[in-house]
Amino acid sequence: MIKAVIFDLDDTLISEHEYIKSGYKFISNLLSKKLNRDPKELYELLITLFSQSPKNVFNRLHDLLEINYTQNDILKLVEEYRNHYPTIEFFEDVIPCLNYLRMKEIKLGIITDGYAVSQRKKLEAVNANCYFDEIIVTDEIGREFWKPHPKAFELMKEKLGIGFEEMIYVGDNPQKDFYIGSVFPITTVRVYREGVYSKSGYLNDIRENYSIQSLKELESIIESEN
């Protein structure tokens, strides 16, 4: 019987692309004062550069504008980006799904990778603490414990007081979210978000137990498992 559903955060519950856009808008406003440039122009340049490659976007912006900079200047921008309070929302299928699970008296959790300060800002922005019983940011227990390491799932099991066989884990990344199904008897579900990991292979070819296009489909999975 399923007693808990644990979710990944980025591109499962919220859009990482919307987070990036929020961060670039914040940085554009900061830089517009320093560089005496239109923030909209800077934002569009950042988005264009990111679409070409997600690497060294701030460096490449300065290069494009022919502005001298130091590595310390870039590190400060990265810190500002990670610390900004994002303008983001849950995907539209999230709250109805959480309400259904609550109605079924199923416990709710999140296990998320990423820099702790950024992940906590995201969680705060969507009021995650109001919906979830337990939240584990793997960076807070150690970078070596980011998924696919099983430690966060062991901690979640202890925190919720359930067995692995009573847990569903919902994620989107085939490189790290479903390998846990080969370690513990956790039922894994892949939610497909438009344009996300559409061409990525699976870690050790370990696949999910179920795949869905919307969290609405979790209802039938819960019914079949219970």
Instruction: Spell out the domain ranges in the chain.
Output: 4-14+89-225, 17-83
pLDDT beyond 90 at 196: no
For the chain, the average pLDDT equals 96
- Give residue 221's pLDDT: 96
pLDDT tens column, 138-158: 999 999 999 999 999 999 999
Six token digits for residue 212? 């869905």
| Per-residue pLDDT band at 2 (split at 50, 70, 90) | very high
- Give residue 11's pLDDT: 97
| Per-residue pLDDT band at 198 (split at 50, 70, 90) | confident
Angle at 220 between CA 215 and CA 221, to 5 degrees: 80
CATH topology of domain 4-14+89-225: Rossmann fold (3.40.50)
pTM: 0.95
